Copies of this chain bind each other. A is one copy, B any other.
Amino acid sequence: MQKALETPYYAVIFTSQRTDGDQGYGEAADNVVSIVSKFEGFLGAESVRDSNGLGITISYWESMAHIDKWRQNAVHSSAKSMGRETWYSSYRIRICEVKYENSFQHPEHQ
């Protein structure tokens, strides 16, 4: 799980439904992850996809300006085009300001 971050920071919630088959998705996703993880202002991400292809990925950012810069990145743009053409039947993106966070760790499951 993501380490604690000082609020406010920013989140991009990406909820998506994958189409069937890989179609180059796995390799492209690995490539995007390796680039974004070194991108200025990137604080981390959480991602879950179930067996029906419904997924939620949330990336966390220092500022809205950093999110805008990432939006203009060429690898990101190219992945976005492939996403619309091939990988996703639908998706929704939400840009949020994180105002407050709190976490719990069970003492017997450290």
Chain A 76-107 interface residues, beta-carbon cutoff 8 Å to B: 84, 88-106
Which of B56, B84, B104 interacts with A104 by CB under 8 Å?
B84
Q: Does A58 contact B (CB under 8 A)?
A: yes
Q: Does A13 contact B (CB under 8 A)?
A: yes
Q: How many copies does the complex hold?
A: 2
Please give, as numbers and ranges, the residues of chain B lying within 8 Å of A11 by CB-CB distance: 13, 94, 96
Task: Give how many A residues have a beta carbon under 8 Å from the other chain's beta carbons.
Answer: 38
Q: Does A22 contact B (CB under 8 A)?
A: no
Which of B19, B64, B92 interacts with A103 by CB under 8 Å?
B92
> Which residue of chain B lies nearest to A97 when distances are taken between CB atoms in the complex?
B97
Whether A1 contacts B13 by the Cβ 8 Å rule is no
Whether B101 contacts A98 by the Cβ 8 Å rule is no
Q: Mark interface residues in A29-61 (1 if CB within 8 Å of B CB, else 0).
A: 000000000000000001011110011101000
The 3 closest A-B pairs by CB, nearest first: A89-B109, A96-B96, A92-B103
